[in-house]
Amino acid sequence: MTFISLLARNRLAIVGLFVMVFVVVLSLLTPFLNLADPDITNTADRFVKPFSSDAILGTDH
């Protein structure tokens, strides 16, 4: 039996392969995503109360 036929029989191996491919693709696309700069902080909104319109879950600071 070939590797592909053995892989096709094992559902858990297929799921693991898809997870690994997803992680690799996501890691390759990460530099192109428009993410917020983690080094910039907004000190005016530092102590915003949770459940306000600016920060629904509060802030990290």
Tell me the one-letter amino acid at 48.
V
Q: How far apart are CA 36 and CA 30, in angstroms?
A: 12
Q: Are 17 and 3 in contact (CB under 8 A)?
A: no
Q: What is the pTM of this model?
A: 0.55
What is the chain's pLDDT, residue by residue, as a tens digit (61 residues)?
Answer: 788 888 889 999 999 999 999 999 999 998 888 877 778 777 777 777 777 777 777 676 5
Report the alpha-carbon angle 61-23-14, nearest 5. Answer: 140
The whole-number pLDDT of residue 1 equals: 75
Residues 6+ apart with CB under 8 A from 47: 59, 61
Q: Which two tokens stand for residue 6?
A: 């053995």
